[in-house]
Structure formats: C-alpha cells, structure tokens
Amino acid sequence: METEVKTNDGIDFLVGVEMSLNDILSAPEVDPLLAAIIKGGAELVAITDPKGRFLWAKGDRNGARELQPSVRQDADKGRYENANWRLWPLYHEAEPIGFLFILRPPGESLCHLSHITEMAFTTLNLIMKNSVKRMLTTEVHTASIQQSYNELLEINKKLSISEKKYRHLAQTLEQRVEERTAELKKAHTRLLQQEKMASVGQLAAGVAHEINTPIGFIYSNLNTLLKYMATLIKMLKFYKKSSTVQTAGSLNESEELYNKLKIDFIMDDSLDLIQENIDGAEKIKTIVANLKDFSHIDDVSEIEMNINQELENTISVLLHEIKSRSARIIKKFGRIPSFKGHPGLISQVFFNILLNALQSKDKDLVITVRTEQKMDDLVISIADNGPGIPSDIQGRLFEPFFTTKDVGQGTGMGLSIAYDIVSGHKGNIKVNSQIGEGSNFSIILPLNKKYSPSVEG
Amino acid sequence: MIEYNELEQKLVLKLVYYGPALSGKTTNLMQLHEALDTKGRSDLMVLDTKDDRTIFFDLLPFYFVTPTGLKIKVKVYTVPGHIRHDATRKAVLSRADGVAFIADSKLTEATNNYGSFENLEQNLAFVGLDIEKIPLVIQFNKRDLPDIVAEDEIKKVWEPTGIKIFMASALHGRGVLETFKCLVDLTYDHLDKRFSLGENHELSKEAFINNLTCSNCAYLAV
Ligand SMILES: Nc1nc2c(ncn2[C@@H]2O[C@H](COP(=O)(O)OP(=O)(O)OP(=O)(O)O)[C@@H](O)[C@H]2O)c(=O)[nH]1
Ligand SMILES: Nc1ncnc2c1ncn2[C@@H]1O[C@H](COP(=O)(O)OP(=O)(O)OP(=O)(O)O)[C@@H](O)[C@H]1O
Ligand SMILES: [Mg+2]
Ligand SMILES: [Mg+2]
C-alpha cells in the first residue's frame, strides 16, 4: 500500500476518494421518495447496497434486512424483474453501488406502479448526481481552502505588520507635514535674513571703500596743513617780533592791524581747529575700518577672532540707531583670549541682540556690553534697561517666527538665528529678564569646543 | 493510486490531464467521452466552469471487473489551468498514476507551457511523486491553428527526454485517443510491476487498454 500523501500539517489534499451509497444519500433525501412509492401502492420499497443489504426501507418488510437470496441470484444473472418485484441498479462512476427494490402487494399487478417508480428512480439518480457533485466540489474546496488558509495566515501576518506601519505613518503624516513645512519656512527665512545681512555687509563694505580714499587724503592733507600752519605761525611771529623792535615805543600801522585782526587768536585757534579735524578724520577712519571688518565677506572658514573687536565693529554698524535714540553704550570689555569661529556669523549674533536691545525702549536707553572669561567659556553679556520680557514668553524667544512686534516690523527670526549660530559654535544663549528691570542676554562661547559650556543661571 | 482494497478486491486509479490554461484539457476529456463506448464508463462530470475555464476539475470515470473479480476504477481528471487554482491542482494531482500534459502549440503560449510544466514538476514533488517514474505523455494540441511551433522543433526538444509526444487537434478529435491510449499503456506497465495484473488477475495489457478505450469508431474522425 502506498502511504498517504500528507502535508506538513497532516491535511490530506486528495481528490477522488471512493464513495458508497451511504455517503451519497441521506435519510431526509430518501424518505419522502420511498414514502411516495408506498403511497403509490407498493408493499415494500428499499434501497440496498451492492450485496442487497437494506440501507433504507419502507413498507411491510416482515423483519427482513436484505433481499431474498432468490432475488439476488436473479440479479446476478442480469434478471431485474419478475411478476412480484423489480430491481433498479444504481451506478456511481460507472460502478454498480446498489439497488432500488420494489415489491408489489400480493395479487396485484406492478403495472400501475411502474409510472411512479420510474419517476422515483429518475429523481433518485438526480439526487445522487447532485449530491456527488456537491461532495466533489466541497472536497476540493476543503482541500484547497485548508491549503490556502495556511498561506492566508502567513500573508495576514505580513499584512498586519505593514498595516501597522502604514497606520502609524498616516497618523503621523499630518504632524510630519507640519514639521517639514515649518522647517522649510524657517530655512527660507534664514536664507533671506542671511542675504539681508550679507547685503548690509556688502553695502557697508562698499561705502567704507568709497569713504576710505577721500578720508585718507583728507587725513594726510590735514597733517600736512598742520605742519604748514605751524611754519607760517613761526614765520609770522618772527616778523612781528622784528617789527616791534624797529618801531620801539609806538604802535605802528602794521601792529595796529595785527591786533585788530586778532592774529594771535587766529594762530592759536587754527592749530586747534586743524587738530580737531585730524581727530575727527581719525575717528572716521576707524569707523570705516570697522565697517569693512564687519562684513567679513571673505571669511568662510573658522578663524581666530578678537571678540572685543567684533563687538566694536557691530556697534559701529549700529551707530546710527544708537545716535538717533541717544542711547548710551557702556563697554566693559575684559581681557579675553581670541575665539575660533566664523566672525561673520558671530557678529550677526551681536547685531541681532544689540538691535533688539536698541529697539526695547526709546528714551534714556543704556546698554551695557560686557565681555569676560569664566573658566573655559567666553561670556558676552548685552544688558539693557528696557521694559524687560514677561516670564511667560521667555521660553519662546528663540522659536522661529516668535515676535511681539507688529506685522511687518519683526520677522521673529533674529533670536532664532542667533541661537542656531551659537549652538553651531557649541555655545549657548541665556536670558535674564524681569519686567521693569531690563533684559540681559548672555552669550556663552566655549573656548574648547569639545565640551559644552557649563550651564549656570 | 487512490485506493487498493484487498478485502473488497478493488483498485482505484487516477489519471490526470495537466497543462496551462485553455490548452484543451477539458476538450480532450469531452472528446474521449464522445468517442468511447458508454459501456464501462460514466458520464463526464464537469464541475463548475466559468467562461470555458475549469474552476475545480472535470472527471471521466471508467469501471470494469477482471476475470478474477478485481474491480478496477479509473478516474480521469483535468486540472484547472489558471494559475490561481494551484491548490486545486495539487489536490487533484495527489496519488496520480499517470499524467498527460496538454501543451498549447500556439507560438504565443511557449512561456505558459514552460511555466505549467515547471508547476507540474513542483506539484508532483509536493504530493510526493517522482516525475522520472510516473507515466507521462505530452500532447501538443491545437495543431489546426496557424502560428504554431514546428513539429521538428518540438521533437528536437522532447525526443531526447524519452517522453512520448503526440500532435493533436482536440477540437476535431485528432490525437486525443492516441494520447490517452499511450498513457493507459504506460500506466499498465507501471502497475503490472507492482500488482502483477497479468499473472494474478489475468488482465493482459491489451485487455486493460481495450476496457478503457472501447471506441465508438463510427464517431471518431481519425
Ligand atoms: N483551434 C483549436 N482550439 C481548441 C483546440 N482544443 C481546444 N480548443 C479551444 O480552446 C479553448 C479552451 O479549451 P478547454 O478544453 O476549455 O481548455 P482547458 O485546458 O480545459 O482550460 P482550463 O480549464 O481553463 O485550464 C476552447 O475554446 C476550445 O474550443 C484545438 O485543438 N484547436
Ligand atoms: N532686549 C529685549 N527686550 C525686550 N524684549 C525683547 C528683547 N529681545 C527680544 N525681545 C522679545 O523677543 C522677541 C523675539 O525677538 P527676535 O529678535 O527673535 O524677533 P524680532 O526682534 O521680533 O524680529 P526681527 O529680529 O526680525 O526684527 C521680540 O519680538 C521681543 O518681544
Ligand atoms: Mg530682533
Ligand atoms: Mg478545463
């Protein structure tokens, strides 16, 4: 015998197992048919297996459980009918699998029974055919469903995993879109701001360059003029002295004019005037130099910079703002080591924070700019005596687009950019502010960038 | 085989028509049904088709008894060719005693033939049958159509394998009986080795073939 074909799960995927009448027919299907034949006048009606054993029977069977031997002998010889009974062989897949047996009542002819039995036989065959078809279909259904079921389980497992993933994605999608949009907007504004800063720097550099040449010769001419003037005065004094000796005792004409024109005063004052001009020109020269430095147009990489100098440069750029508000800037620059970083970016931080301080109040504004070294950090603090910042918004100052200014006045990006730049230098910005007491922004820059600055209040 | 019941002296065999979708498996069986004598065979059972395509299977059963009283039932099945019914194909193929592979001769069907044959190899292995040992014949159907693979080419490919090849036009009944006869022939040899049908049951190969192919010659257009 061949061993059964079993799958891993022990399910037998087989189409074609043999069926007996017992498998194909059932009492509820058969009973009404047999009852109808009895009603039609038969004494006994039975459905038997191939050996003649009754499977279902109705009528007066006198305790019999199978066909009489004589009937079976006739059937074996191919005789299916005599005056008292009739046998109808039943086939399944060309194989005889039983009989429909009908016994007439004693003394009566089978004739009038024949129609109803003919019909019953046809119906029985129809029932068998349908039943077989249904069973075959179910058979293959079950076989393939069992198999598909396992595959489905596997697929389902995979699906539920990916479904989870997608659901999570879908749920967070909105939030992610918002995040991305904010990021984009931030990046865009930052670019704008940087462009603005760059053009401010460029403008400053351009103006500085234009002024630099004329102020150069004004300055050197003034120095020459001072020398010439000194020489002239020397000569004039000499003349005056000699003319006084010649005309001793009386005031001559030239002496009168000399006094009248206040030549002595003019001589003293013109030297002072020229000296003042020279001082002024010198100041212009410094500012122009600061302006040029502020732009840092050529610096891309990190270089050693003098923080105090950067602050000077930035203040120069903001000079107009400072003057127009009659603000006072108090510089308390300490002796600090140089700092390695991007000067262009660092001065942008100073610019943004100083500008905020300048915008904090219109009258009697005092801004104190202090630099010092605290352990391994440089601390630059910019303090104003402005209105102060309410504590509930202090946490939001560095958020992009956070502003309390009117629409169109502020972008709200100033501190956000400052924060990013300082973070980029591994530093930190701290705010100390109380309503009515002004605000203090401390920029902490680590000299050794491997360590973050110590956090202290 | 589906079953061998020694007590009841009954042997139930299974032959399977395999092949790609719409290659003519059902048509083969229908033609066999038409061509063969009603004696000893049952009606063709066609289980649920949809637009010509078999969903479950078709079944043509044969039944006869040897002089020694051995009852032999041969169930000839077609499988559904559509790829999606692979589970059904496995179930039908399991315990097969012989396979007729019906290929579609159309040039455009070459890939499908190849795919289906590969599928047959896989599924035979799945149900624990050895493709090298199981009786197998191949039929190239639809020879009546234009744009078909040349016979020479087919022979060049398949003759070295030793598998018997038949050209057929099932729609017109040509090659159908030859294919079936060859399959039955091979199946007898295979069974005889195990059951000594000739010696123990007085069933010669000729008798076996005749019992399954009593042809209604008047009908068959050869
Ligand atoms: N021209 C031509 N057409 C054929 C031939 N044999 C079958 N056909 C046609 O091919 C189509 C499919 O035939 P079927 O026998 O249903 O194919 P099948 O292999 O059982 O298909 P599935 O059950 O879907 O796997 C039918 O339209 C047939 O008429 C043939 O020899 N020549
Ligand atoms: N020194 C300060 N005094 C009071 N409030 C300040 C000070 N510095 C910043 N703020 C508050 O922080 C907010 C954010 O400042 P930020 O520099 O980021 O943007 P902004 O100044 O409003 O806009 P922009 O810098 O583009 O002009 C300001 O709107 C202001 O309310
Ligand atoms: Mg600002
Ligand atoms: Mg089919």
- The whole-angstrom separation of Cα A180 and Cα B122 is 51
Name the 3-class secondary structure at B133.
coil
Collapsed DSSP state (helix, strand, coil) of residue A345 = helix
Query: Would you list which residues of chain B are within 8 Å, Cβ to Cβ, of chain A?
Result: 1-4, 10, 12, 14, 40-42, 45, 47-48, 56-57, 59, 61-63, 71, 73, 75, 77, 85, 87-88, 90-92, 94-95, 127-128
The reported pLDDT for the residue numbered A186 is 78
Say yes or no for a CB contact (<8 Å) between B59 and A5: no
Show Cβ contacts of residue A226 under 8 Å, excluding neighbours closer than 6 positions: A271, A274, A275, A278
pLDDT of residue A430: 93
**Number of separate domains in chain B:** 1
Residue of chain A nearest B39, judged by CA positions: A94
CATH class for the domain made up of A21-149? alpha beta
Domain-embedded: residue B147: yes
- Percent of chain B scoring above 70 in pLDDT: 95
Distance from the CA of A403 to the center of ligand 3, in angstroms? 8
Pick from A99, A106, A104: which is nearest to A76 by CA? A99
Considering chain B, what percentage of its residues have pLDDT values greater than 90? 57
**What value does the mean pLDDT take over residues A249-267?**
81
Q: What is the largest CA-CA distance in chain A?
A: 199
User: Helix, strand or coil for residue A63?
Assistant: coil
Roughly how many angstroms between the first and final C-alpha of chain A, as a whole number? 91
Element (H, E) at A123: helix A111-246
Task: Say if the Cβ atoms of B91 and A14 lie within 8 Å.
Answer: yes
Query: Per the domain annotation, does B201 fall within a domain?
Result: yes
CB interface of A with B, residues 396-455, below 8 Å? none
Domain boundaries, chain A: 21-149, 190-291, 301-446
Chain mean pLDDT for chain A:
83
Q: Cβ contacts (< 8 Å) between B56 and chain A: which residues?
A: 136-137, 140
Is B87's CB within 8 Å of A5's CB?
no
Rg over alpha carbons for chain B, rounded to the nearest Å, is 17
For residue B173, give the 3-state DSSP assignment: coil
CB pairs under 8 A between A and B: 88
User: Using CA atoms, how far apart are residues B186 and B134, in angstroms rounded to an integer?
Assistant: 9
ipTM reported for the complex, 2 dp:
0.85
Name the residue of A321, A360, A366, A397 whose CB sits within 8 Å of the most ligand 2 atoms, as the mutation to test its pocket: A397
| B218 falls within a domain | no
Given an 8 Å threshold on Cβ–Cβ distance, is A93 in contact with B127?
A: no
Residue B173, domain extent: 3-213
Paired with A46 in beta bridges are A57, A101
| CATH number of the structural domain spanning residue B179 | 3.40.50.300
Structure tokens at A207: 């103006």
Residues with a beta carbon under 5 angstroms from ion ligand 3: A 356, 414
pLDDT band at residue A454 using 50, 70 and 90 as cut-offs? very low
Q: What is the pLDDT of residues A299-308, one digit of tens each?
A: 567 889 999 9
Residue B199: inside a domain: yes
CA-CA-CA-CA dihedral for A65, A70, A76, A81, to nearest 10: -90
Indicate the length of chain B as a whole number.
Answer: 222
Q: How far is CA A17 from the centre of its chain?
A: 61
Chain A nearest-CA residue for B80: A140
Assess A93–B contact: CB distance below 8 Å, yes or no: yes
How far apart are the C-alpha atoms of A120 and A89, rounded to whole Å? 13
CB atoms within 10 A of CB B213: 18
Reference B220, options B42, B34, B28; nearest CA is B34
**Per residue in B36-86, pLDDT tens?**
877 777 788 887 666 677 777 889 999 988 888 899 999 999 999 888 788
In-domain check, residue B160? yes
- Domain A21-149 and domain A301-446, same fold? Reply is no
Q: Would B161 be classed as within a structural domain?
A: yes
Per-residue burial over A404-429, b if 16 or more Cβ lie within 10 Å, else e, is eeeeeebbbbbbbbbbbbbeebbbbb
Assigned token pair, A272: 């002072």
Q: How confident is the model at residue A165 (pLDDT cuts 50, 70, 90)?
A: confident
Least confident of A190-199, A420-429, B160-169, B205-214: A190-199
Statement: residue A384 has pLDDT above 90: yes
pLDDT in tens, A31-43: 988 998 888 888 8
Ligand nearest to the CA of B83: 1
Contacts of B85 in chain A (CB under 8 A): 144
The Cα-based distances of B74 to A94, A304, B27, B131, B134 in angstroms read: 10, 98, 19, 20, 16
In terms of CA atoms, which chain B residue is nearest residue A151?
B87
- A221: helix, coil or strand? helix
pLDDT, residue A5, reads 41
CB A425 within 8 A of CB A341: yes
Residues of B in Cβ contact (< 8 Å) with A144: 85, 87-88, 90-91
In A87-109, which positions are buried (b, 16+ CB within 10 angstroms) versus exposed (e)? bbebebbbbebbbbbbbbeeeee
Please list the alpha-helical segments (H only) found in A65-110: 69-76
Task: Tell me how far apart the alpha carbons of residues A42 and A32 are, in angstroms, rounded to a whole number.
Answer: 14
Q: Give residue A132's pLDDT.
A: 86
**What are the residues facing A305 on neighbouring strands?**
A339
Contact B54, B78 (CB under 8 A): yes
A83 close to A110: Cβ distance less than 8 angstroms: yes
Nearest residue to A351 (alpha-carbon basis) of A377, A314, A300, A381: A314
Q: What is the pLDDT of residues A179-215, one digit of tens each?
A: 888 888 877 877 777 677 666 666 777 777 778 778 8
Residue A18 clears pLDDT 60, i.e. is over it: yes
Residue B179 lies inside a defined structural domain of this protein: yes
User: A367 — phi, psi (to 5°)?
Assistant: -120, 125
**In angstroms, what is the span from residue A447 Cα to ligand 2's centroid?**
28
Rounded CA-CA distance A2/A4 in Å is: 6
Angstrom distance (rounded) from CA B199 to CA A300: 102
Is the Cα dihedral A238, A243, A248, A251 positive or negative? negative
The mean pLDDT value for A86-112 works out to 84
3-state secondary structure of B181: helix
In Å, how far is B23's CA from the nearest CA of chain A?
Answer: 22
Span from the CA of A400 to the centroid of ligand 2 (angstroms): 11
| Residue B196 forms part of a structural domain | yes
Point out the ligand nearest to the CA of residue B24: 1
Range in A215-224, A293-302, A355-364, A440-449 with the lowest mean pLDDT: A293-302
Q: How confident is the model at residue A449 (pLDDT cuts 50, 70, 90)?
A: low
Find the mean pLDDT for residues A122-142.
Answer: 83
From ligand 2's centre to the CA of A412, what distance in Å?
7
Look up residue A144 and give its two tokens.
């393939």
Residues in Cβ contact with A95 at an 8 Å cutoff, skipping those fewer than 6 apart:
B61, B63, B71, B73
- pLDDT, greater one: A391 or A143: A391
Q: Which residues contact A86 (CB under 8 A, 6 or more apart)?
A: A80, A101, A102, A110, A117
Which CATH superfamily does the domain covering A301-446 fall into?
Answer: Histidine kinase-like ATPase, C-terminal domain (3.30.565.10)
Q: Is A5 in contact with B128 (Cβ distance < 8 A)? A: yes
Identify the pLDDT of residue A6.
41
C-alpha distances in angstroms, A370 versus A331, A367, A428? 6, 10, 16
Instruction: Tell whether the model's pLDDT for residue A10 goes beyond 70.
Output: no
